[in-house]
Structures are given as structure tokens and as C-alpha cells.
Amino acid sequence: MQKRLVLIGGGHAHMVTLANLGKIIEKGHTVTVIGPSAHHYYSGMGPGMLSGTYRPEQIRFATRHVVEMQGGTFLPGKAATIDPEKRVVTLENGEVVPYDVLSCNAGSHVPQPTIDGNLEDIFSVKPIEHLMQAKSRLVDHFSRHAPKVVIVGGGPSSAEVAGNVWQLATTTGRQMPRITICAGKVFMSRFPIPIRRRITGTLSRRRITIHEGGYVKSVSSSTVNLDNGDTLPADFIFLALGVKPSVIFADSGIATGPDGGLRVNRFLQSTQYPDIFGGGDCIFFQDRPLDKVGVYAVRQNPVLYHNIVARLDGNDPMPFDPGGDYLLIFNLGGGIGVLKKRRLVFGGRPAFIIKDYIDRKFMKKFQAIE
């Protein structure tokens, strides 16, 4: 019996499913993929694109091409709401898409503080496409003056952006910016001291300032204002205040976790509606809350694909096992990285080489689908 499969998003957790759309369609089902653009950019290589280590085409998947060449339908746009009773997805443009089985890889967004004034030189680190525009604007700044660049946020994204802005300025041979990380109370607070020490050491050697002791209150085109009364002057601002799951589930009245992500069971299936599945940053895995890191989306890939097909065909699903500790590598620009795996922590050129190898291998595997 023919059924309608709809995918929201073409991100990391949907890669295996996207690679096998042809097999699903051969069974007689129809497939529709909803995505904001024809390409999906790999966030793990985003900071490297900002610095010029990678070209945009090296870190993206041709989602639309992959869908259409296998006989699926690609709908450009953004899903706004889901009606799980009527089994329809409504896009922001008002278009309604019916489904029998729905899988969501809707991603996450960076929460924004109050922003006043001109937005021309204020960039969120997500979506990753923003970093292409930011790079162009920064190079323009470097050609004219030594800009004050402020990165708002105290986590890994801030460290990676700061290091790669430094690399961009160094390789363009223009004026060096004054880079400040506005880190909240404590920079990289959820990470062990050995990691923090290596990252702060690399940044300080590049004269990148880490400002601790206050959270951002508001942002304007020329200042970052903190809740402790401090004001940081800025010519260019990055917003890297962590990530929050897509609001589509809360807006649709579907059960969510405390972070607003789609609440799923061990089969990556909505705890409320068994025809809805999800993976990546947009879900809340109720058995064991997971960090918002790409490794879990990658691990979810084969399970999500299996369970989507099982639901379409009336077969049994398989459980998802998040696995143990994961490899974590930060790209700090300039060919330098910091690596953590269990108790092993080290930094320098070898850490970056390992990350570069893994990232390029991942991209090569799924770009081959194209």
C-alpha cells in the first residue's frame, strides 16, 4: 500500500535516509523533503569555511539534487507547524503537505538577545550559511581598519569562531582585529580544566581577550551591553549563545522535553504520535538527554532510516543506543585543534589533522551520493 513519507530537513540525522530514498520509492511510497535551501552545510566545518580553510562547496550536500535524482519531491521552504491529528505539515508560505510518516531533522537556532540598530555587521553562527556573508564583511573591515570583533557566548562555538577570525585576518594580510569573547560568567564552564587551559592558552597567545563576569543584556551595531553594567565596544558581532531546538513542536502542541525539542522514545519516535520520528538537535531523547553535538545525529542515522521504513511497511522498529563517550575536537584556526576522548586530551597541529581527516571523510562519503 502506497504511503507518503515527509522529511523536514536534510541534516546530519537524515543522511542515510536521503541516500536510500530510491529504495523507499521503489516500494511504491512517495517522498517529500522540505528544506530551507537546496544545500545543507555541515556545521562541523563551518568555522573552517569562515577562515578560508574550506570552500563552501567542500562543506555542503546537494540535498535537492539528491532527492530529485531518486524520484522524490523537494519543497524549498520552512515548515511552520505540524497537525498530528490531520497528519499535515504547513509551510511558512501556507502550503500544506500531507503525510503518513513524518521524520524531523529540523535543527536548532541560536537564541538572540535584544538587538538595536543596524544589523549589517551582527551575525548569528547558525545557520552556517551566515558565516559566508560574515567572512565577506570581515575582509572588507580588515581592508579599512583594525575592527573590534566581539563574539557573544562562552562555549565551543565562540572559541572556534574567535580562532578562525584570527586566521582569516592573518591570511588576508590586512589589519588585525581586536577580538574579544564575551563569555558570560565563566568561559567553557562545562568542560574539564585541561581542555579549558589548552583553549585559553591558544587564544591568549593570539591576543584574543576573554571577558568573563557578566551575561549579555543587549546588542547594538556598536556595543555589547552586559547585565553587570559593562559595555564592550564593537564594530562586528557574532552571536554564539548556544543552541535551542526548533520551535515547531512547541508551536504545534506536540510533546517536548524541557529544552523544547521533540520528545522521543528509544525508537526515535514521538512519545505522543507514533507516525512522527526525529533526530539531531531538534529532539529530546527521554531515556537519556543528549548533548547537542553532531556525533549523536550521525549515530542516529541508520536507526532512523530503519524505523522510518519499518513504520511505512508495518515492521518492527529497532532501538537507538547513544553509545559511550565520543571524540570531541575543536578547530581553533591556524591549523591548531584541541582533542578530547575519554581521559585523553591534547592540542596542537595533530589534533587539527585528525579532525580535518574525519570531517573530509564524512563529507566524501555523503557527497558521493550526488
Q: Over the stretch 297-326, which tens digit does the pLDDT of each residue have?
A: 999 999 999 999 999 999 999 999 999 889
List helix spans (H) across the chain. Answer: 15-19, 21-26, 46-51, 63-69, 130-144, 156-172, 193-205, 248-251, 294-313, 349-367
pLDDT at residue 221 is higher than 90: no
Instruction: Report residue 242's pLDDT band, with 50, 70 and 90 as the boundaries.
Output: confident
For range 272-280, the mean pLDDT: 97
- pLDDT number for residue 370: 76
- The answer to the question of residue 279 being in a domain is yes
Same domain, residue pair 141 and 26: no
Same domain, residue pair 130 and 231: yes
- pLDDT number for residue 294: 84
Domain end call among 325, 344, 359 = 325
Same domain, residue pair 207 and 290: no
Domain end call among 212, 242, 272 = 242
Same domain, residue pair 171 and 226: yes
- Give me the half-sphere count of Cα atoms (radius 13 Å) on the Cβ side of residue 75: 21
Same domain, residue pair 210 and 169: yes
Q: CB–CB of 329/338 below 8 Å?
A: yes
Quick one: which of 86, 230, 236 has its CA closest to 161? 236
In terms of C-beta density within 10 A (0-12 exposed, 13-18 middle, 19 or more buried), how is residue 137 classed?
A: middle
Residues 6+ apart with CB under 8 A from 319: 266, 267, 303
Reported as a single tens digit per residue, the pLDDT across 31-50 is 999 999 999 999 999 999 99
pLDDT at residue 278 is higher than 80: yes
- The answer to the question of residue 273 being in a domain is yes
- The answer to the question of residue 272 being in a domain is yes
- The answer to the question of residue 53 being in a domain is no
Pairwise CA distance, residues 156 & 188, whole Å: 7
Same domain, residue pair 286 and 254: yes
Pairwise CA distance, residues 190 & 120, whole Å: 32
- The answer to the question of residue 72 being in a domain is no
Same domain, residue pair 251 and 158: no
- The answer to the question of residue 180 being in a domain is yes
Average pLDDT taken over every residue of the chain: 94
Same domain, residue pair 201 and 311: no
At 29, which CATH number?
3.50.50.60
Same domain, residue pair 153 and 166: yes
Give the number of domains in the chain: 2
Same domain, residue pair 175 and 157: yes
For range 322-344, the mean pLDDT: 94
- The answer to the question of residue 300 being in a domain is yes
Q: Is 185 left (phi over 0), alpha (psi -120 to 50) or beta?
A: alpha
- pLDDT number for residue 174: 74
Quick one: which of 229, 302, 293 has its CA closest to 267? 302
Cα–Cα separations (whole angstroms), residue 76 to 39, 150, 321, 323: 10, 33, 33, 34
- pLDDT number for residue 259: 92
Same domain, residue pair 208 and 257: no
For range 257-269, the mean pLDDT: 96
Domain end call among 210, 242, 274 = 242
- pLDDT number for residue 201: 96
- The answer to the question of residue 258 being in a domain is yes
- Report which DSSP code applies to 281: G
Same domain, residue pair 265 and 318: yes
Neighbours of 62 (CB within 10 A): 18
pLDDT at residue 275 is higher than 80: yes
pTM of the full predicted structure?
0.92
Structural domain harbouring 123: 119-187+197-242
- pLDDT number for residue 1: 77
